Amino acid sequence: MTKLPADSKITLANSPWQAEVELQIQFYDLDPMEVVWHGRYIEYFEAARCALLDQIDYNYAAMKESGFMWPIIDLQVRYSNPATFRQRIKVRAAITEWENRLKMEYLVTDAASGQRLTRGVSTQVAVQMDKREMCFVSPRVLWQKLDLPYPEPT
């Protein structure tokens, strides 16, 4: 069983479900100011999110197999410092909510110094593929992948 923080507040710092990828900034990621174009950070988040979903064995293929799609319904990005050509970055993703939605927090840092460059949050909801209906409680399969007991109705 997954051990959760004592105060039940899950954050990027204490989430038991985390993954990190290291990337090198490519020339095609740059804008005319020679820093990473703001939209590319979403792709970096996606790389970390996919690594995390693979880690819990619930990647996009497994989601589809389970009968659910998980569209992103909200995305927030906060830029602190720009990334530049050939810079190595680390992108960490962590699951911070799962009960009624799948919320992930992201942190992009310089790989050498650890300086924070960008942070973000994405929110996804489960949608039953056959009915195209949104679920108000995350499906049992997600709870199983997180090694958590499913909340039985009272």
Asked whether residue 2 is domain-assigned, the answer is no
DSSP, res 56: T
Is position 50 within any domain? Answer: yes
How far apart CA 16 and CA 3 sit, in angstroms, is 7
DSSP helix/strand/coil, 61:
helix
What is the tens place of the pLDDT at every residue in 71-96?
999 999 999 999 999 999 999 999 99
Number of domains into which the chain is organized? 1
pLDDT for 117 beyond 70: yes
* Residue 3 falls inside a structural domain: no
In angstroms, rounded to a whole number, what is the distance separating the alpha carbons of residues 62 and 46?
16
Residue 16: per-residue pLDDT: 96
Sign of CA dihedral 76, 82, 83, 89: negative
Domain residues for the domain of 123 are 18-145
Q: One-letter amino acid identity for 28?
A: Y
In a domain, 150, yes or no: no
pTM: 0.94
CA 150: distance to chain centroid? 21
CATH of the domain at 78: 3.10.129.10
pLDDT at 7: 66
Average pLDDT over residues 57-73: 97
